[in-house]
Amino acid sequence: MQKRALITVVIVVVIIVVLIPVGYGLAQRATVTSLKFHFNRAELANVDFSQTQTIGNLEQLYNNIQNPSLGTLSEVASIESAVPSESTIMFDLLANTRYTFNVYVDVSNPSFIPVVIDKEDIKVSISGHELPGDVTIPQQITVPAGGSTTVELEGITASGRDIADVLANSISNDYVLDFNFAITSFYPTLFGEVQIPADIDLITYPIPPKPTLSNFQQDGYNVNSYTLSFQNSNNIPIEGQMQVGVMKGNSYGCDPACIVPVDSGLGTFLRITGSDLFGIQVFEANYNPSPEQTFSMNIQNPTLRNNANSAFIMRWVPTFDTIPYTATITIAGVPETSQGEFHSSTFSTIRDVVYNLGRDFGYVGSREFVSPTIETAQTPSSALSNTINSILNGVSSAPQLPPVQSSGTQIVNGVYNVPPGRYQYFTFTSSCTGTLSGSFAAQATLGNNIVTYVLDQAGFNQFQAGNSASTYYNSGKISSGSFHVSLGTGTYYIILSNTYSIISTKTVDVQAYYSCN
């Protein structure tokens, strides 16, 4: 009886000794297969531009144009010719730059048994090109029961020279880089090592995208308020500042497109960057729109001239110390997608340069329009005139505007201040033979007079150059007058000239219409 009891005890002990490890081993395997992975973040640890060919020169060029002079706008063509093509810039940047990443993956363990990660092997490919060598973790990592651990994968290095065959695709795909990390984790158990594969697809945007202009509207008839609408047409969130410059129009004979067209990216950059120098009023607002989201910017009471050809010019300045990305991690065939951004102040300077030179200096769009009737602020010269007027205790009586038949297409109809030594002009294009009819009346403290001309394009060019010009109408210096001029097809100018005056601003009421025969 005692012998049987002893044998029973031995059998039970053997069963316990054998089955418990077996059971624990099975539990370990079940626990490993139940682990959950989540992409935490990726960091750009280092960027080495020392082997690039164009970046240093571009950075110097960009730094130079950040401080424009009065003559810089006239040098736009030569500056643009010095900028390499977008493909040349991007090829140099990508092919000759080494990037070092750190990737962080969260591993959670829902079971009651802790798990040890013995090692990780990571293969990295970019747009289908596998980089040489594997990345490994330096030491074992324990994931506690019911807890989580962040696994840090350090030193993932890629050189553009390794992926020269995919550079053209990256450029044509709006500078998007697709990094793929094939990660195999090894877990020691009583029954040997268990391998768990994972795949991380990381789509990065090293050159920030920008929004598009979707709509422009005036907020009411003759209202000096405007709404600009934009859309983030990209598949990632974007963050940055919208800058809107105000082109007053018809300034001393210079319309919004004077010197440089309003739809020039470099011209917009120079005008807004040198806003104080060029007299450009700038409105700014920060936005962070989601993919496909539309956002609006309201421009209230911009400084404009009465009934003048005006324009808004727009550029987007992104946040340069972040690189947006979309990450998809797949475990056991189940994908999980998240969005985020890298943070790198080291990379921000070079991204600033390449963004501006590669994305048309952040140019978003422009809109030309005719400003409403606005009360014009006093200029220093008109203030001086008012002072003299108060001393003289009187103002010359205002002349009456001669009547004119208001038929045909209206060219101009309003009241304008013409400062001393300056002129105001209005331009129109005729597509038929017809008659230009108009009248004008000038008022000022020290003499009611103005000189009015009608010129064609050749005559206007001569007038701007300070030369004598052939005119269709020349009023001479008078207080008021009217004109009826027969014209053919072409571009013509009506000019109110106060170039002969030294201190007196002239307030001129003018109207003109063109009728085809």
pLDDT in tens, 176-217: 777 777 766 665 555 556 666 777 777 777 778 899 999 998
Give the residue, 353 or 425, on which the prediction is more confident.
425
Q: ∠307-464-269 over CA atoms, to 5°?
A: 65
Residue 393 has pLDDT above 50, yes or no: no
% the chain with pLDDT above 90: 19
Q: Using the Cα atoms of residue 366, residue 367, residue 370 and residue 372 in order, give the sign of their dihedral.
A: negative
Cα–Cα dist 381/387, whole Å: 10
**pLDDT tens track for 269-297:** 998 988 888 888 999 999 989 888 999 99
Cα–Cα dist 367/244, whole Å: 11
Q: State the number of CA atoms in the 13 A half-sphere of 290 facing the CB.
A: 2
Residue 169 has pLDDT above 60, yes or no: no
Q: Burial-class residue 20 by CB neighbours within 10 Å (0-12, 13-18, 19+).
A: exposed
Residue 22 has pLDDT above 90, yes or no: no
3-class secondary structure for 469-508?
CCCCEECCCECEEEEEEEECCEEEEEEEECCCCCCCCEEE
Give the residue, 194 or 311, on which the prediction is more confident.
311
Residue 20 has pLDDT above 60, yes or no: no
In sequence order, what are the residues at sequence separation of 6 or more whose Cβ sits closer than 8 angstroms to the Cβ of residue 467?
none
Among 109-118, 339-348, 414-423, name the one with the lowest average pLDDT. Answer: 339-348
| Residue 104: per-residue pLDDT | 77
Residue 92 parent element (H or E): helix 86-95
- Number of helices followed by number of strands (H, E) in the chain: 10, 27
| Residue 397: per-residue pLDDT | 54
Is residue 327 within 8 Å of 179, Cβ to Cβ? no
Best CA proximity match to 376, nearest among 308, 275, 477, 472: 308
Give the residue, 360 or 329, on which the prediction is more confident.
360
% the chain with pLDDT above 70: 63
Cα–Cα dist 372/299, whole Å: 14
In sequence order, what are the residues at sequence separation of 6 or more whose Cβ sits closer than 8 angstroms to the Cβ of residue 423?
252, 253, 495, 496, 497, 498, 499
CA distances from 9 to 23, 274, 416 (A): 20, 94, 113
Best CA proximity match to 92, nearest among 58, 123, 61, 126: 58
Is residue 29 within 8 Å of 329, Cβ to Cβ? no
Best CA proximity match to 403, nearest among 437, 428, 451, 443: 437
Q: What is the pTM of this model?
A: 0.51
Cα–Cα dist 381/502, whole Å: 9
| Residue 363: per-residue pLDDT | 94
Pairing of strands 473-474, 451-456: antiparallel
Mean of the per-residue pLDDT values of the chain: 75
Most trustworthy range by pLDDT among 5-9, 23-27, 273-277, 365-369: 365-369
| Residue 2: per-residue pLDDT | 58
